[in-house]
């Protein structure tokens, strides 16, 4: 059976309905980072590892494994490594050690600009890149002060919200007064170290680095051209079963609305 990730999906028919700006940028540094938070993500049978890089005015969120794949694929001498891993995965479905990282947002690169109040998502479908630009998402949080836990040695408080069709529970620490978190979550008086939608996804910080951090970087190893598309149009199209070949296994998407 073919497997296509929801995070890669946009059909060409919807693109004809909107004026599209076509853009291509090479990989380049955006600004130095002051912190990098590693997160481990579990969604059903899928696992992945992510980085949240934080600069003074920008931050980015991406899969370490996606970054590795793109980097290796951009070089003819190393691209065969990825192909061999994919063949090993296909031929050893019952061997967990052969399964490659994946998840609902595995193929996306996210960039948050505080200065411009913009949140950019770079994604792709069938080899074509797409860029979604929106104002920085805002969640209406309910802080539960009497529910706490320790994560990575930090005291954390619980908060809940309903965001774009899913009910999130998070734990954040005011010991790190950075109002950010994994994916599109943020706006609390401290860094989010744990986020969960029961029955769908769990994201937990696995490490925090504040020295010798890599810069906030725009990644485009394959020099893709990105077409602009509205978020609601993108979600509508990737939710359309007719956009996928028959018998496609589709990973549930992060946003339902």
Q: Mind listing the pLDDT tens digit for each residue in 106-133?
A: 999 999 999 999 999 999 876 678 899 9
**Tokens representing 91?**
């031929």
Has residue 155 been placed in a domain?
Answer: no
User: How large is the average pLDDT for residues 43-64?
Assistant: 97
**What's residue 241's pLDDT?**
80
The answer to whether residue 15 scores a pLDDT higher than 70 is no
Specify the range with the lowest mean pLDDT, choosing from 88-97, 159-168, 233-242.
233-242
Has residue 186 been placed in a domain?
Answer: no
**Tokens representing 192?**
């989010």
CA within 13 Å, CB half, 146: 0
Has residue 147 been placed in a domain?
Answer: no
Name which of 122, 29, 107 is nearest 68 in CA terms.
107
Q: Which long-range contacts (CB under 8 A, 24 or more apart) does 28-31 make?
A: 28/217, 28/218, 29/215, 29/216, 29/217, 29/218, 30/55, 30/58, 30/60, 30/111, 30/215, 30/216, 30/217, 30/218, 31/55, 31/56, 31/57, 31/58, 31/215, 31/216
Entry pTM: 0.88
Has residue 174 been placed in a domain?
Answer: no
**Structural domain total, the chain:** 1
The answer to whether residue 9 scores a pLDDT higher than 70 is no
Tell which wins on pLDDT, 99 or 54.
54
Q: Which helix (H) or strand (E) holds 156?
A: strand 154-163
Has residue 134 been placed in a domain?
Answer: yes
Question: Within 10 A of 3 (CB to CB), how many other CB atoms are there?
Answer: 12
Rounded distance between C-alpha atoms, residue 17 and residue 6, angstroms: 21
Range of the domain at 77: 3-138+208-250
Has residue 59 been placed in a domain?
Answer: yes
Has residue 83 been placed in a domain?
Answer: yes
Which DSSP letter does residue 27 get?
-
Has residue 110 been placed in a domain?
Answer: yes
């Amino acid at each position: 059976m073919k497997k296509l990730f929801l995070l890669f999906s946009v059909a060409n028919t919807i693109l004809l309905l909107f004026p599209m700006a076509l853009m291509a940028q090479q990989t380049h540094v955006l600004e130095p980072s002051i912190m990098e938070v590693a997160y481990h993500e579990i969604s059903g049978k899928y696992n992945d590892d992510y980085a949240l890089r934080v600069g003074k005015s920008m931050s980015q969120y991406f899969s370490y494994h996606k970054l590795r794949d793109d980097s290796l694929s951009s070089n003819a001498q190393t691209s065969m490594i990825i192909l061999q891993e994919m063949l090993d995965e296909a031929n050893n479905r019952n061997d967990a050690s052969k399964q490659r990282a994946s998840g609902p947002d595995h193929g996306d690169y996210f960039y948050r600009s505080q200065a411009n109040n913009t949140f950019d998502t770079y994604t792709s479908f069938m080899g074509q890149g797409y860029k979604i630009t929106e104002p920085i998402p805002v969640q209406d949080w309910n802080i539960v002060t009497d529910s706490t836990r320790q994560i990575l040695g930090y005291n954390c408080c619980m908060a809940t919200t309903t965001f774009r069709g899913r009910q999130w529970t998070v734990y954040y620490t005011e010991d790190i007064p950075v109002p950010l978190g994994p994916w599109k979550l943020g706006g609390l008086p401290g860094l989010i170290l744990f986020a969960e939608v029961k029955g769908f996804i769990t994201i937990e910080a696995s490490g925090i680095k504040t020295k010798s951090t890599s810069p906030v970087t725009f990644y485009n190893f394959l020099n893709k051209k990105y077409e602009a598309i509205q978020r609601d149009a993108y979600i509508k199209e990737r939710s359309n079963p007719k956009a996928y070949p028959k018998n496609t296994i589709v990973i549930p998407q992060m946003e339902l609305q």
